[in-house]
Amino acid sequence: MSTRSILPTAAALVLLAASVTAAQAADLTAPSEAAAQLPAASEQSPWMIRARALAVLPQDKASLQLNGTSLDGEKVGVSNSVVPELDITYFFTDNLAAELVLGTTPHSARGSGSIAGLGEIGKAWLLPPTLTLQYHVNLTDTIKPYVGAGVNYTIFYNEKAQGDFSSFNLKNTFGVALQAGVDIKLDDHWGINFDVKKLFLEPEVNATLPGAGTVTGKVKLDPWLIGTGITYRF
């Protein structure tokens, strides 16, 4: 074979080899380029909600007067209550969050201690929205305890006098809230929560007892709020 015939053939082989190599390189790099073009996984939402069963356990201390005269050793027995409760949490960072608690509870009050003879005094519903600032600790990937403190404003409604009383009123009031709890993750969205709060509430009370006069003063409720339920992180 002459030199003139070999050169075109060699050139054709070189071009063919270059084409095959380029195609293989394109096949190898295409997946990585496609992967690079895929959107990054979105970060977890800062919003979380909790649905809990909540036990509200008030105290029974009071400072009362009958027609302006102090009653010694007086107490007001306030009933416990268990209700469903919802709260909304917003995470500013992985550790810092704010929680708004929403729920309402029914309670009854009766005389106790030295005024036990008064019997039933009244019933009322409490609406105590509570806002706390929380600090969360990532103890493990799934167990995240927290502590919090904040403010509460308790609204009393549907007040009804009971027994021998003809009127019964409680004044809405502000209070301080302290909190501790733990979230246990089940997956990226669902979890379990245990929570304890202490509210410091001392509303004014006014009740009329026909034939005897008016009972006024303050009832030191200071309830414990103990809850457990499920969480959902968006």
150-185 per-position pLDDT tens digit: 999 999 999 999 999 999 999 999 999 999 999 999
Q: Place 48 in a pLDDT band, splitting at 50, 70 and 90.
A: very high
| Cβ-contact 88, 103 below 8 angstroms | no
Give the integer Cα–Cα distance in Å for 153 and 198: 13
Q: What is the mean pLDDT of the chain?
A: 85
| Cβ-contact 170, 158 below 8 angstroms | no
In the block, residue with structure tokens 């009370």: 205
| Cβ-contact 142, 107 below 8 angstroms | no
Contacts of 101 (CB under 8 A, 6+ apart): 85, 87, 128, 129, 130, 131, 132, 197
Give the integer Cα–Cα distance in Å for 140 and 181: 15
Contacts of 200 (CB under 8 A, 6+ apart): 175, 176, 177, 222
Give percent of the chain with pLDDT exceeding 70.
81
pLDDT for the residue numbered 27: 53
Stretch 40-48: mean pLDDT? 77
In the block, residue with structure tokens 């003809």: 166
Q: Six-digit token pair at 173? A: 């009031």
- Dump pLDDT digits (tens) for 98-120: 999 999 999 999 988 778 888 89
Lowest mean pLDDT among 18-32, 96-110, 202-216: 18-32
